[in-house]
Amino acid sequence: MATKLPSIDVLLIGFGWTGAIVAQELADTGLSIVALERGQWRDTPTDFAPTFDQDELRYMWRHHLFQKAPSETFTFRNNQNQTALPIREWGSFLPGEGVGGAGVHWNGQAWRFLEKDFAQKSHNQQRYGKAAVDGFDMTIQDWPVSYADLEPHYDKFERICGIGGKAGNIGGAIQPGGNPFEGPRSREFPNPAMEQTYGPALFAEAAQSLGYNPFPQPSANMSQPYTNPLGLQLGPCTYCGFCEKFGCGNYSKASPQTTILPVLMKKSNFTLKTGSTVLKLNLDDSKTKVVSATYVDHAGQEFEQPADLVILCAYPFANAQLMLLSGIGKPYDPKTGQGVVGRNYAYQITSSVNVFYDDKLINPFIGSGALGMCIDEFNGDNFDHKDLGFISGGFIQVLNTGGRPIEMIYVPDGVPKWGAAWKKAAAQSYLRTTTVATHGAVMSHRGNYLDLDPTYRDVYGRPLLRITFDYTEQEHRMSDYLTDRAADIARAMKPREIKVNKRTGAYDVAPYQTTHNTGGTVSGTDPSTSVTNPYLQSWDVSNLFLMGAGAFPQNAGYNPTMTVAALAYHSLEKIKSTYLKNPGPLVSQVGR
Amino acid sequence: MRAAAAAILLAVTAAGASATEQEDRGKYLVQAADCQPCHTKQGGQPWAGGLALDTPFGTLYSANLTPDKETGIGNWTPDQFYRALHEGIDDQGHHLYPAFPYNYFTRVTRDDSDAMLAYLKTVPPVKQASARNDLTWPFSMRWLMAGWNLLFLKEDTFKPDPAKSAEWNRGAYLVEVLGHCGDCHTPMNPVGAPKSDEAWRGGHIGDLFAPDLSANQRIGLGSWSTDDIVGFLKTGRNAHANASAAMGEVVEQSTQHLTDQDLKAIATYLQAIPASAEQLTEAASQDQMTLGKQVFDDQCSACHQPKAQGVPNLFPPLEHSAEVQQRDATTLIHVILTGTRTASTDTAPTPASMPAYDWKLTDDQIAAVTTYIRNAWGNSAPAVPVKDVAALRKKLVQDKPPA
Please answer whether residues B305 and B311 qualify as being in contact, where contact means their C-beta atoms are separated by less than 8 angstroms.
yes
- The per-residue pLDDT for A420 is 97
Whether B333 has a pLDDT exceeding 50, the answer reads yes
With an 8 Å Cβ cutoff, the interface of chain B facing chain A consists of 299, 302-303, 311-315, 339, 341, 344, 346-357, 360
Interface pTM (ipTM) of the complex? 0.91
Q: Please tell me if residue A50 touches chain B, with a CB cutoff of 8 Å.
A: yes
Q: Where are the alpha helices (DSSP H) in B236-329?
A: 245-253, 260-271, 286-295, 301-304
pLDDT band per the 50, 70, 90 thresholds, residue B142: confident
Q: In terms of pLDDT, which residue wins out, A49 or B56?
A: A49
Mean of all residue pLDDT scores within chain A: 97
Tell me the C-alpha distance between A321 and B388, whole Å: 58
Q: Please tell me if residue A51 touches chain B, with a CB cutoff of 8 Å.
A: yes
Per DSSP, the residues of A79-139 read STTSPPEE--S--S---B-STTGGGSS---B-PPPPGGGGGHHHHHHHHH-HHHHHGGGB-
**pLDDT tens digits, one per residue of A456-466:** 999 999 999 99
Please answer whether residues A101 and A315 qualify as being in contact, where contact means their C-beta atoms are separated by less than 8 angstroms.
yes
- The per-residue pLDDT for A126 is 98
Instruction: Quote the percentage of chain B above a pLDDT of 70.
Output: 95
Over its C-alpha atoms, chain A yields an Rg (Å, rounded) of: 23
Contacts of B351 in chain A (CB under 8 A): 262
Residue B11 corresponds to which amino acid? A
Q: How many residues does chain B have?
A: 403
Residues B221-247 have a mean pLDDT of 97
Residues A193-199 have a mean pLDDT of 97
Please judge whether A251 and B347 are an interchain contact, meaning their C-beta atoms are less than 8 angstroms apart: no
- The per-residue pLDDT for A592 is 46
Contacts of A249 in chain B (CB under 8 A): 355
**Beta-bridge partners for A35:** A12, A272
pLDDT band per the 50, 70, 90 thresholds, residue A348: very high
Choose, out of B314, B342, B354, B369, the residue to mutate when testing the contact with A (most A CBs < 10 Å). B314
**pLDDT tens digits, one per residue of B98-133:** 889 999 999 999 999 999 999 999 999 999 998 777
Q: Please tell me if residue A249 touches chain B, with a CB cutoff of 8 Å.
A: yes
Residues A26-47 have a mean pLDDT of 96
**pLDDT tens digits, one per residue of A517-546:** 999 999 999 999 999 999 999 999 999 999
A50: nearest CA partner in chain B: B355
- The per-residue pLDDT for B8 is 45
Residues B143-170 have a mean pLDDT of 89
What are the respective helix, strand and coil percentages of chain A, to the nearest 5?
A: 25, 25, 50
Please answer whether residues A352 and A372 qualify as being in contact, where contact means their C-beta atoms are separated by less than 8 angstroms.
no
Residues B53-82 have a mean pLDDT of 92
Q: Please tell me if residue A240 touches chain B, with a CB cutoff of 8 Å.
A: yes
Residues B262-282 have a mean pLDDT of 93
Which range, of A167-181, A407-421, A424-438, B271-285, averages the lowest pLDDT?
B271-285
Closest CA to B60 of B39, B45, B87, B75: B39
- The per-residue pLDDT for B196 is 86
Q: Is A414 left (phi over 0), alpha (psi -120 to 50) or beta?
A: left
Please judge whether B339 and A45 are an interchain contact, meaning their C-beta atoms are less than 8 angstroms apart: yes
**Residue B348 to chain A, least CA–CA distance (Å):** 6
Tell me the C-alpha distance between A262 and A230, whole Å: 9
Contacts of A263 in chain B (CB under 8 A): 349
Please pick, among A385, A439, A516, A570, the residue that the annotation labels catalytic. Answer: A516
Residues B234-244 have a mean pLDDT of 97
What stretch of H or E contains A292?
A: strand A290-297
pLDDT band per the 50, 70, 90 thresholds, residue B17: low
Whether B403 has a pLDDT exceeding 90, the answer reads no
- The per-residue pLDDT for B137 is 75
Whether A591 has a pLDDT exceeding 80, the answer reads no
Residues A563-581 have a mean pLDDT of 98
Whether A83 has a pLDDT exceeding 60, the answer reads yes
pLDDT band per the 50, 70, 90 thresholds, residue A493: very high
pLDDT band per the 50, 70, 90 thresholds, residue B5: very low
Tell me the C-alpha distance between A350 and A437, whole Å: 7
Annotation marks residue A476 as catalytic: no
Q: How many CA atoms lie within 13 A of B252 on its CB side?
A: 18
With 0-12 CB in 10 A as exposed, 13-18 as middle and 19+ as buried, what is A552? buried
Residues A254-273 have a mean pLDDT of 98
- The per-residue pLDDT for B1 is 39
Q: Please tell me if residue A265 touches chain B, with a CB cutoff of 8 Å.
A: no
A48: nearest CA partner in chain B: B355
Q: Please tell me if residue A235 touches chain B, with a CB cutoff of 8 Å.
A: yes
Contacts of B353 in chain A (CB under 8 A): 44-45, 49
- The per-residue pLDDT for B91 is 92
- The per-residue pLDDT for B12 is 43
pLDDT band per the 50, 70, 90 thresholds, residue A590: low
- Looking at residue B360, the DSSP 8-state letter turns out to be T
A240: nearest CA partner in chain B: B302
- The per-residue pLDDT for B376 is 97
Residues A314-338 have a mean pLDDT of 98
B352: nearest CA partner in chain A: A251
Tell me the C-alpha distance between A186 and A112, whole Å: 13
- The per-residue pLDDT for B11 is 43
What are the Cα distances from residue B387, in Å, to A369, B56, B358, B392?
Answer: 42, 21, 15, 9
